[in-house]
Structure 1
Amino acid sequence: MEVDEMVVDELIVGRIGLEELKVGGIFPDLKVFKNKVREYAIDRHFVFVPVDSKSTKYAVRCKNGSCPFRISGTNYLDCVRVNRFVPEHTCPSTMSGNDHLLATASWAAETCLGLFPRPGDVTPSLIRAYVKDKWSITLSYTKAFNAKVIIHEIMCGNAEASYRILPAYAQEMERCNPGTIMLVYRTRQLWGSGDDTFGRLFWSFGPSIRSFSRTIRPLILIDVTHLRGKYKGILLAATTLDGVGGLFPLAFAVVENENFDSWLWFLLLLR
């Protein structure tokens, strides 16, 4: 036991085969090991199939059963050790076309995540270009787009989680911005039936309200635009003009559709 602890200590600090695909190579967990095996196959343009996939072990072989390629890793105390590795790949490429079956959207997202400092920088074309340059495979646009969505969710959170915290966010906005009005309406509040989910949102910032009532011209312009997020919707906006003719935002609302009912609801709250 003393010998094992000494060996593990050396492995953890990276003195022996850390994250190398060789017998005795050490990885911090199965996820890292799986990703390394996937990248190995992508780089060599072949496809593998799992032989054993458990919470404590992961083993794969080439998709072509007659090919000798094999690799397996097993939990070893607080890490994963490669206990079998036959690197020879003798069969022709098991890929079809220039894309790769193992190059999934989630893999592309994880590979490209560190390239983008801001969510707005992420585009499918940049993801495809990076994968093409590094791995020599042509990622489909659909995969690249899905990878963009995954990266955006990692960096910003997903839409469902954002909708869940919206009421608390509205309260915090009103607390931190004196005079701000932010109202979240659920479907049952609006229509009295259906699922109790997000229905509409109205908000107007305190400084906008105070400026409009004191110094801004008494003229209101209203407009609408379509939202392009996962759940679509419509953004209604009320603006006015400042002293030099610039647009001055006054109030906004997110609604399900542009119709008489949604406009009437918005204008009554604006009033």
Structure 2
Amino acid sequence: MYFANTTSPTKYVVRCKERSCPWRVTGTNQLNHERVKTFIPNHTCSLRLSGDDNPLVTAAWAAETCLGLFGRPEEIKPSLIINYIKLHWGIVISYRKAHMAKEIILEIKCGNAKDSYRILLAYAHELVRSNYGSNIHILRERELFRNRDDSFLRLFWAFGSFIRSLRPLVLLDGTHLRGKYHAILLVACAVDGDGGLFPISFVVVKNENDDSWSWFLTHFHRNIMSSEDKVITV
């Protein structure tokens, strides 16, 4: 496709590179507000616009087009992005490009992982301030390896209300965290009065190994079990 100006700078025509193809968009641009007047979505040319992916569409454009569709992060799905663009623009994009658009939308709405780690200390302070009895501990590279690297290594936290509801039986488990920085989430859970599970404390670590579990259980015993008179089975 190419951009062709018509009678004035406030009017535009975007049409297919193949001049015999009827696909085109016409509109106006006044005071930085664009308005589409005509849209002919059908291609009759030999360009690859109806295959698995339109090479002229970028992930950034797809993200901008679909940004207002989603209210919550869990609603953002590549399949919905693909279907919306195909339905409203008559353009097919690949799943990979739709997934890239999803990541762009998530970053716009939720921020990126790097910036989130930068405010970890502020989050820890606010968590303790607003949740009475909560405990949180952050371990950085320099504290473990005695160097100047101030980057995040491990995080332990437990909400005060969960600590006060501690039961005699504690269950331990771990799961992988998906995202830019792959990590492991270790969790200590208990059983409530209705037989359901509720979490007591959490730990984010780089790897699940004996050292990580030992660090977790040390803080668990020091900050939670030490304040309990009853016997707890882990």
TM-score (norm 1): 0.65
Tell me the distance in 1 between the aligned counterparts of 2:211 and 2:148. Answer: 17
1:108 maps to: 62
Aligned residue type for 2:68: G
2:231 maps to: none
Tell me the distance in 2 between the aligned counterparts of 1:108 and 1:145. Answer: 10
> Is 1:233 aligned to residue 183 of structure 2?
yes
Q: Give unmatched runs, 5+ long, in structure 1.
A: 1-20, 28-35, 47-61, 65-75, 82-91
1:10 maps to: none
2:8 maps to: 24
Tell me the distance in 1 between the aligned counterparts of 2:108 and 2:33. Answer: 26
Tell me the distance in 2 between the aligned counterparts of 1:171 and 1:164. Answer: 13
Cα deviation, 1:114-162, whole Å, max 9, x if unaligned, reads 1111111110000001111122221011100000001111111111111
1:7 maps to: none
- Cα contact 2:49–2:92 (8 A) shared by 1: no
Q: Give unmatched runs, 5+ long, in structure 2.
A: 19-29, 35-44, 222-234
Pairwise CA distance, 1:243 = 2.4
Tell me the distance in 2 between the aligned counterparts of 1:96 and 1:24. Answer: 30
Query: How is 1:186-205 mapped onto 2 (pairs within 5 angstroms)?
Result: 186-193=140-147, 195-205=149-159
Query: How is 1:4-83 mapped onto 2 (pairs within 5 angstroms)?
Result: 22-26=6-10, 40=14, 46=16
Task: Name the Cα RMSD after superposition.
Answer: 2.9
1:252 maps to: 202
Provide closer, same or farther for how the CA distance between residues 80 and 206 of structure 1 changes in structure 2, counting only shifts above 3 A: closer
2:211 maps to: 261
TM-score (norm 2): 0.75
Provide closer, same or farther for how the CA distance between residues 79 and 140 of structure 1 changes in structure 2, counting only shifts above 3 A: closer
Provide closer, same or farther for how the CA distance between residues 103 and 157 of structure 1 changes in structure 2, counting only shifts above 3 A: same
Tell me the distance in 1 between the aligned counterparts of 2:7 and 2:211. Answer: 68
Aligned residue type for 1:236: L
Cα deviation, 1:6-42, whole Å, max 9, x if unaligned, reads xxxxxxxxxxxxxxx7543549xxxxxxxx88xx45x
Provide closer, same or farther for how the CA distance between residues 23 and 195 of structure 1 changes in structure 2, counting only shifts above 3 A: farther
Runs of 4+ in 1 over 4 A off after TM superposition: 78-81, 92-97
Pick aligned residue for 2:165 from 192, 206, 211: 211
Provide closer, same or farther for how the CA distance between residues 177 and 113 of structure 1 changes in structure 2, counting only shifts above 3 A: same
Tell me the distance in 2 between the aligned counterparts of 1:207 and 1:156. Answer: 27
- Cα contact 2:188–2:201 (8 A) shared by 1: yes
Provide closer, same or farther for how the CA distance between residues 96 and 129 of structure 1 changes in structure 2, counting only shifts above 3 A: closer
2:23 maps to: none
Aligned residue type for 2:64: E
Q: How many residue pairs were aligned?
A: 198
SS of match in other structure, 1:226: strand
Tell me the distance in 1 between the aligned counterparts of 2:148 and 2:67. Answer: 39
Aligned residue type for 2:62: A
